[in-house]
Amino acid sequence: MTRRNLIIIHRGPEYTKDFDEIADKVNALDPRITVYHMPPSYRDGLPTGAWDSPTLTVALLAKFSFTVRRGPVLMNKAMEKLDQQDVFRKNNIPYPPAMPFRCGMTLDPILFGDFVLLKPADLKLTSQDNGTAVFRRKRAEMLTMDSFPPSHPIRWSAKGFLVQRLVYTGEYPSSHRAATFLGEVMSLERFQSRRPTPPLDAPDHEIETADFAPKSDRDYDFVGDEDILLLARRVAACFPSIPLLGIDILRDTKGRLFVIEINAGGNTWHYSSKAWAEHRRTNPEYYVRLRTQFSAFDVVARRLCEAVQAQAS
């Protein structure tokens, strides 16, 4: 009976309890798998003789101190938006076209439609919703740097801005976030703004100051739309070496689905992430549903077992 190793490198001590539980679930499914999990600062080796067994390493971040001596490594790492778009295009994933923005550019009306979204290329700025705005396509073609206030990040962000076709989801903007692990969905949420946006025939200044992509002041629910679940699995399959993904999907007013982007950096394990610690404290029922919607830890344990059986070497 061949024994195998599973090494999980998580993002810190706050993750330990979760992966203790997941390790127990892995061992219940396949007692031949020895699970080691550790924070990124861990430097020590494995017990004597452990490296004699086929091994798979799963890391939820790109930088860690542990030295992997054998076997493949599946690893989270941030991926630029335009690189994501290339993957979507090659795999027939529906997405709204985007390209680097420059003042005075001409945008193809067939590709970009009548409205576009201007947003930072820098992943950190995007997560803060900093500088994102909607413009009529013809108006966007006439923008100059003087169109933006001195503090606007388009003036100083080294990575510049992207222009993307607007996916209009209705008067109250909505979006979906699918969290996947090794290709399977752990949770699927739907967010909807509590504040309406102006109609698309409103004056330019009303559209340009409206929040079409709210990250706060919104309602949420856990949903099970089969077409979105299928699309999320298709997207995750496009990134087989990245274990943990947050996939942002929009449904437009005609019912069509579009993948906006993936969060591949690994900081979307919100069962224990530092970023959402206060939210967990004040909204405990949310995290019960986040975990139980599809039995997330059971999904993770099952997919880890399958990955070790298929890939450990």
Residue 200 lies in a domain: yes
pLDDT digits (tens, 9 = 90+) for 184-227: 999 999 999 999 999 999 999 999 999 988 777 899 999 999 99
Residue 152 lies in a domain: yes
Residue that terminates a domain, selected from 125, 142, 166: 166
Please tell me whether residues 138 and 189 are part of one structural domain.
no
Q: Rounded mean pLDDT of 136-149?
A: 92
Please tell me whether residues 248 and 231 are part of one structural domain.
yes
Please tell me whether residues 259 and 174 are part of one structural domain.
yes
Residue 63 lies in a domain: yes
Structurally, the chain folds into a number of domains equal to 3
The domain that holds 8 is classified in CATH as 3.40.50
pLDDT digits (tens, 9 = 90+) for 29-47: 999 999 999 999 999 989 9
26: CB partners within 8 A, 6+ apart: 6, 33, 35, 301, 304, 305
Residue that terminates a domain, selected from 117, 150, 166: 166
Residue that terminates a domain, selected from 149, 166, 183: 166
Q: 157 lies in which domain range?
A: 97-166
Please tell me whether residues 65 and 154 are part of one structural domain.
no
What Cα–Cα distance (Å) separates residue 94 from each residue in 85, 97, 134, 261? 10, 9, 20, 11
Query: What pLDDT is attached to residue 112?
Result: 97
The domain that holds 233 is classified in CATH as 3.30.470.20
Residue 279 lies in a domain: no
Residue 141 lies in a domain: yes
* Structural tokens at position 296: 């997330």
Please tell me whether residues 89 and 234 are part of one structural domain.
yes
pLDDT digits (tens, 9 = 90+) for 72-93: 999 999 999 999 999 999 999 9
Residue 287 lies in a domain: no
* Residues 195 and 172 sit within 8 Å (Cβ to Cβ): yes
